[in-house]
Amino acid sequence: MICIVMQSFIRKCPNCNSDQVYSRKDHYTRAVKKDSVCNSCANTGRVFSDETKRKLSVARSGKKHPLYGKSHSSMSKMKMSIAHTGKSLSTDHKQKLSILNSGTKNRFYGKHHTEEMKKNRRIQILKRMEELGIPNNEDRGARQFFENYNRVNNTRFIPTRFMDIGYFADGYDKPSHSWMEYDTPMHNSTRQKARDLIRQINILKHFISTGNPLTQFTRVKVDKNGIVVGIIHVL
């Protein structure tokens, strides 16, 4: 195991007295010599005209951007991580950021991720879990339920990851090609019901598109004590 210790240099902003962290000694020395203030103080009250904003945008777009086609090295990422470790935003700062990014000011306002993007994101998450050896998030009581269900019904429902669609089945029986969801009380909220329905539709559509539709899709409803209160056979 290799441990890398990064040296950092800290000085106080002469205006707001906040900590300024420098990863390079020459940057720190220059800041001390000039008695420079932090970026936040330097830009306080500074307002660019629309024409200046447009010029800055053009000057830093596409190939003109200093990071165009590049990416930060692992060492640079580590330095930035160390520089920001331990920092916390004040309540006032958080409130300003909230106002700055709310409503129509939010860059994602009125937009939505495409279904393809959502699918790719789900797949990335499952692959990441696979690489890091992260186990599946099982609902409380699910394992005991499926063990008992398999014993009584002579089935083989087990937790299964489907990497091609980015979904995790609470229980999947390969011999019968059946899918079973274990729904705790958390799934009773209106928002979660809507998400579950979208998930259900995506799963059913996927297997139909492959020419191998599921033979059964079942939702098992349980209460907070893990007692089954309902079984819904969608297929």
Residue whose tokens read 């994602």: 108
Please say if the pLDDT value at position 51 is more than 80: yes
Each residue of 122-180: pLDDT tens digit? 999 999 999 888 888 888 899 999 999 999 999 999 999 999 999 999 999 999 999 99
Q: Report how far residue 22's alpha carbon sits from residue 34's, in angstroms, rounded to the nearest whole number.
A: 15
The pLDDT assigned to 1 comes to: 43
Q: At 80, which amino acid appears?
A: M
Average pLDDT rounded to a whole number, residues 52-81: 85
d(CA 170, CA 196): 13
Nearest 5°: phi and psi at 177?
A: 55, 50
Instruction: Choose between 119 and 41: higher pLDDT.
Output: 119
Integer Cα distance of 97 and 183 in angstroms: 37
Go through the domains of the chain in sequence order and give each one's CATH number: 1-42 (no CATH), 116-233 (3.40.1350)
Residue 168 to residue 199: CA distance in whole angstroms: 10
Rounded to an integer, the average pLDDT of 25-32 is 89
> What's the pLDDT at 73?
87
Mean pLDDT of 106-129: 90
SS3 label, residue 144: helix
Residue-level pLDDT at 83:
80
